[in-house]
Copies of this chain bind each other. A is one copy, B any other.
Amino acid sequence: MKLTCIQENLNFGLQSTGHLVNKNVNLPILNNVLVEATTGGLKLSSTNLEIGISCQVRCKVEVEGSFTVDAKLLSDYVNLLPNEQINIDLEKDNNLKISCRNSNTKIKGIAADDFPVIPVIEKVNPYKIKIKDFKKALAQVIFAVSVSETRPEISGVLMSFNKLEKNKLFMVGTDSYRLTEKNLPVEGNDEEKEVIVPMKTLQETLRILNGLKDQATAEEDLEIYLSENQILFTCGGVELISRLIEGQFPDYKQIIPTETKTRAVIATSELTKAIKTVALFSKTGIFDINLIFDPSKGMTMRATNTQVGESKSDLEVAYEGDANETTLNYRYILDGLSNITADEVELGLVDSNIPFIMKPKGDDSYTYIIMPIKQ
Contact = CB atoms under 8 A, between A and B. Distances in A.
A206 interface: no
Contacts of A316: 102
A204 to B, nearest CB: 24
Contacts of A80: 273, 276-277, 280
Interface string A76-109: 1100110000000000000110000011111110
Given A80-B276, A273-B80, A276-B80, A311 B103 contact: yes
Contacts of A277: 77, 80-81, 103
Contact of A310 (B106, B276, B314, B315): B106
Copies in the complex: 2
A60 interface: no
Nearest to A306: B108
A281 B105 contact: yes
Contacts of A311: 77, 103-106
How many chain A residues sit at the interface, stated as a range, is 20 to 34
A308 interface: yes
A108 to B, nearest CB: 5
Most buried by B among A77, A80, A95, A107: A80
A104 B105 CA distance: 64
Interface of A: 70, 73, 76-77, 80-81, 95-96, 102-108, 273-274, 276-278, 280-281, 307-316
